[in-house]
A and B are shown apart, each in its own frame.
Chain A
Amino acid sequence: DVKVTQSSRYLVKRTGEKVFLECVQDMDHENMFWYRQDPGLGLRLIYFSYDVKMKEKGDIPEGYSVSREKKERFSLILESASTNQTSMYLCASNKQGSGLREQFFGPGTRLTVL
């Protein structure tokens, strides 16, 4: 059974803190993605990675960075958390290749920044 796991379901942090969100997939997928989900805005892509140590900016990368040191793990980093980064964060992965495009999502991390 395919699986994408995220380190926390709920997280509460203070403004200015450095925050790490971790995502692990066990499907040997090349591609991994970080989205944020906000009511009325849908899912917006923050960053994605198509290989170890490779990353590309998505539509809303400001205020975020990522790290992919191992194929199965993709981390989202908030260098200095702000209240406008309070949101649901979803990690996803999929296999490279035009015939295998389904993205598999983790359950999400609801981050609150106070």
Chain B
Amino acid sequence: GENVEQHPSTLSVQEGDSAVIKCTYSDSASNYFPWYKQELGKGPQLIIDIRSNVGEKKDQRIAVTLNKTAKHFSLHITETQPEDSAVYFCAASNSPGFQKLVFGTGTRLLVSP
């Protein structure tokens, strides 16, 4: 089955810096890669996703890149703000309709003012 590895487990940056979180997956059949953000006391919330026929996707300060050959995908956050502090999870899916997700182990991002 699919296995998703995520690094780093914790990341501390200064406000305004960029943050990069990296994930690798094992199943070449995976074709959907979402990123979820979990704030303290809340459930995870989708922030961006990418399908395997796309190499990069941007939404304001966040972007996701996908390298299918290397089975890598990354989350990039530019101009970080304190409200970006949260736990971020990557995930991968190879199931029909992308219903089943396999999650990474999470990255705790701390943005200091």
Contact = CB atoms under 8 A, between A and B. Distances in A.
Interface in A85-103: 90, 92, 94, 96-98, 101-103
Chain A interface residue bracket vs B: 20 to 34
B113 interface: no
Interface residues of B, number: 26
Interface string A23-43: 000000001000100001111
Contacts of A74: none
Interface in A63-90: 90
A107 B38 CA distance: 10
19 contacts: A4-B43, A31-B99, A42-B4, A42-B89, A42-B103, A42-B105, A44-B103, A45-B101, A45-B102, A48-B99, A58-B100, A59-B102, A90-B44, A101-B34, A101-B93, A101-B98, A102-B49, A107-B41, A108-B43
Interface of A: 4, 31, 35, 40-45, 48, 50, 58-59, 90, 92, 94, 96-98, 101-103, 105-108
